[in-house]
Amino acid sequence: MKITKQTFGEVGHEPVYAYTLENDRGMRLTCLNLGCTVTEILAPDRDGNLENVVLGFDRVEDYLRRKTYFGAIIGRIAGRIRGAEFALDGKTYTLPPNEGNNHLHGGIRGFHERIWEAKPVEEKDAVGVEFTYLSKDGEEGYPGNLQVRAVYWLTNENRWIQKITAKTDKKTIVNLTNHSYFNLSGNGKDLILDHELTLKSDRFLELDEELLPTGKKLEVEGTPFDFRKGRKIFDGTVSRHPQNLLAGNGYDHPFLLSENLNQEIVLRHRESGRKLTVETNQPCVVVYTSNALGEDFAIQGGVPSRKYLGICLETQGLPDAVHHSDFPPVVLEPDGRYEALTTYTFSTE
Ligand code: G6D
């Protein structure tokens, strides 16, 4: 197992480094100290061919210019906050409205655009990178000095383990995720329409026209949102279901997980034989089928960006939870500790 570090570019005058983790089976994961961004995951197909299964860019400038959030840690709050404001203990906090009147993915310079401290870490059967970042009191309008630690491990079971913890000195809200776009065909050669997703989820959140939760939890039974027995992403792109149409002919929805840390999210690409199993301690996964991905630029290797080129499986708390008292809370107290664990296991069939 090994860890290598290369210069990737710079943001302002701060260097951006690429850390590449490689296990004994040849699988590789590369990530940046910019937003803890995963730029590449080389995973084998059934014949052992290693290809990149996530979308990314070759240049740091593109990560800043394109609002795709490719591979990055999203925070302080993933998803949208209605009206770009919330109240805690009677005090209203105003956030930058960076999507219409709402606040999206941590604001104008969320965690994905910050330079994190990074250091390689090693264990007996894993190599990794430990990222740390101090989000200052008032950053993007949020209260509290929030110390965040994100550790990416790569093991010899071809598993990427993502452990994120956070502590605050003042009551605040926290809901973090990773925004990787997966494409198991390898090197972005096909769209994700024939990818098959299986979810242990009986309900999903209804969205309004601004893609914010209405508060209603809808049953998946009898709809294109029923992934319990496996379903091709294609179904959602041709569906006339109002929620698929609203999302831009696809999915952009939070699914409530009925189990945790027990193979609750499985993505398959039958042609290559690649399978991704995601397990998490988080209550939901936002499935986004890149319905709004721009088509006026190229991703790494000069591959043209296209709608439906990747699928995001953003494990997290429920979006806009601060405005829904019946959603699991995203409030973090000074004596509390935020802990998010998600594992991504790559295998073949
Ligand atoms: C769009 O609505 C989607 C979000 O879910 C996604 O995170 C973003 O594009 C990249 O805004």
Task: Return the ∠ at Cα 131 (arms to 126 and 134), rounded to 5°.
Answer: 155
**Atom 9 of ligand 1, nearest CA residue:** 292
Q: Which residue type does 185 have?
A: S
- The strand pair at 177-178 and 172-173 is best described as unpaired
Is 179 assigned to a binding site? Answer: yes
Per-residue pLDDT of the chain (349 residues; tens, 9 = 90+): 999 999 999 999 999 999 999 999 999 999 999 999 999 999 999 999 999 999 999 999 999 999 999 999 999 999 999 999 999 999 999 999 999 999 999 999 999 999 999 999 999 999 999 999 999 999 999 999 999 999 999 999 999 999 999 999 999 999 999 999 999 999 999 999 999 999 999 999 999 999 999 999 999 999 999 999 999 999 999 999 999 999 999 999 999 999 999 999 999 999 999 999 999 999 999 999 999 999 999 999 999 999 999 999 999 999 999 999 999 999 999 999 999 999 999 999 9
C-alpha–C-alpha distance, residues 5 and 24, integer Å: 18
Q: Among 112, 179, 253, 269, which one carries the catalytic annotation?
A: 179
What's the CATH fold of domain 2-348?
Answer: Beta-galactosidase; Chain A, domain 5 (2.70.98)
Collapsing DSSP states into helix, strand and coil, what is residue 301? helix
Pocket test for ligand 1, best of 69, 98, 104, 285 (most atoms within 8 A of CB): 104
Q: What angle do CA 242, 280, 272 make, to 5 degrees?
A: 75
Domain ranges for the chain, please list them: 2-348
Q: What is the pLDDT of residues 119-168, one digit of tens each?
A: 999 999 999 999 999 999 999 999 999 999 999 999 999 999 999 999 99
Work out whether the CA dihedral 284, 18, 294, 302 comes out positive or negative. negative
Please say if 324 is a catalytic residue. Answer: no
Per residue in 71-126, pLDDT tens?
Answer: 999 999 999 999 999 999 999 999 999 999 999 999 999 999 999 999 999 999 99
CA angle at 137 for the pair 68 and 336, rounded to the nearest 5°:
90
Ligand 1 centroid to 79 CA: how many Å?
8
Was 181 annotated as part of a binding site? yes
How far lies 159's CA from each of 172, 189, 209, in Å?
A: 32, 23, 37
The SS3 of residue 127 is: strand
Q: Enumerate residues lining ligand 1, CB below 6 A.
A: 68-69, 211, 252, 288, 292
Which helix (DSSP H) or strand (DSSP E) does residue 243 occupy? helix 242-246
